[in-house]
Structure 1
Amino acid sequence: MYKKLLAVAVASSVAVPAMALTAYDDGTDKLTIGGRVGVQSKTMDGDTELNNDSARINFGFEHKFSEDLTGFAMAEWGINAIDQYDEGSKKDLFSNRLGNIGVAHSTYGKVTAGKQWSVYYDIAGWTDMYAIGGGTSMGIYDGYSTDGGVNGTGRADDAISYRASVGGLNVGLQYQMRGTSGSDIDGTDQLVMDRAWERTGGGQAALSYDFDSGLSVGYTYSQTSFEQRENAHAQSAGIKFDTEQMYLAATYGKFKNHTNATLANRKPIGDEGSTGYVPTGHFDKKSTGIELFGQYNLQSVAGLSFYAGLNQLKVDEQHDGSDSDGKLDTKSLGALYRVGPMQLAAEYTVDDSKKHDGTSDADNYMTLQARYYF
Structure 2
Amino acid sequence: MDKKHLAIAVAAAFYGSQAVAVELYNEGDTTFSVGGHVSVGLGGSEQGETEVQQVSPRININATQDIGNGYTADAKGEWALNYLEGGEETFTTRLGYIGVSHNTYGRTVVGTQWSPYYDGAGIADLPIAFANDFLYDDQGPLGTARAERMISYRNSLNLNDAGELMFGLGWQGTTSGEVLTLGPLAVGDVTSLEAEYDDRFQILLHYDIMGFGLNYSYNTGDVQAGTFDETATSHMFSANYGTYGSGLYVAVVYAMNEYMNLGLEESVAIEGLLAYALPNSLNLSVNYESVEDDKNNNTIFSQMALQAEYNFTSSFVGFGGYQFDLGNDIDEPEDDKWIIGMRYYL
**Is it true that 1:364 corresponds to 2:336 in the alignment?**
yes
Matches of residues 279-294 of structure 1 in structure 2 within 5 Å?
A: 283-294=263-274
Tell me the matched-pair count.
326
Tell me how far apart the structure 2 counterparts of residues 306 and 258 of structure 1 sit (CA, whole Å). Answer: 31
Distance 1:39 1:153, change over 3 A: same
**Is it true that 1:325 corresponds to 2:298 in the alignment?**
yes
Tell me how far apart the structure 2 counterparts of residues 191 and 36 of structure 1 sit (CA, whole Å). Answer: 39
Which structure's residues are more often helix, by fraction?
2
Aligned residue for 1:231, secondary structure, equals strand
Matches of residues 103-142 of structure 1 in structure 2 within 5 Å?
A: 103-137=100-134, 140-142=135-137
Aligned residue for 2:132, secondary structure, equals coil
Tell me how far apart the structure 1 counterparts of residues 189 and 31 of structure 2 sit (CA, whole Å). Answer: 46
The AA in structure 1 aligned to 2:316 is M
- TM-score normalised over the length of structure 1: 0.82
Tell me how far apart the structure 2 counterparts of residues 15 and 149 of structure 1 sit (CA, whole Å). Answer: 20
Instruction: Please identify runs of 4+ aligned residues in structure 1 that moved more than 6 A.
Output: 190-193
Q: Deviations over 1:84-129 (max 9, x none)?
A: 7xxxxx6611101111112100111000001000000000001111
Tell me how far apart the structure 2 counterparts of residues 8 and 336 of structure 1 sit (CA, whole Å). Answer: 26
Q: 6-15 vs 53-62, which deviates more?
A: 6-15
Q: Deviations over 1:46-95 (max 9, x none)?
A: 831111211111111111023621011111111101117xxxxx661110
Shift of 1:5: 2.4
Aligned residue for 1:362, secondary structure, equals coil
Aligned residue for 2:142, secondary structure, equals coil
Instruction: Assess if the C-alpha contact under 8 Å between 1:347 and 1:367 holds in 2.
Output: yes
**Partner residue in 1 for 2:146:** 155
Task: Extract unaligned runs of 5+ from structure 1.
Answer: 85-89, 184-189, 261-282, 318-322
Determine what percentage of the aligned residue pairs are the same residue: 28
- Alignment RMSD, CA only? 2.2
Distance 1:325 1:205, change over 3 A: same
Shift of 1:304: 1.1
Aligned residue for 2:198, secondary structure, equals strand
Task: Extract unaligned runs of 5+ from structure 2.
Answer: 159-163, 180-187
- TM-score normalised over the length of structure 2: 0.88
Q: Deviations over 1:27-57 (max 9, x none)?
A: 3111111011111222212831111211111
Matches of residues 1-374 of structure 1 in structure 2 within 5 Å?
A: 1-13=2-14, 15-45=16-46, 47-66=49-68, 68-83=70-85, 92-137=89-134, 140-143=135-138, 148-167=139-158, 168-181=164-177, 194-211=192-209, 213-228=210-225, 229-243=229-243, 244-260=246-262, 283-299=263-279, 301=280, 303-317=281-295, 323=296, 325-338=298-311, 339-356=313-330, 359-374=331-346
Shift of 1:12: 5.0
Shift of 1:193: 9.0
Distance 1:373 1:91, change over 3 A: same
Which structure's residues are more often strand, by fraction?
2
The AA in structure 1 aligned to 2:55 is D
Aligned residue for 1:5, secondary structure, equals helix
Q: 327-336 vs 41-50, which deviates more?
A: 41-50
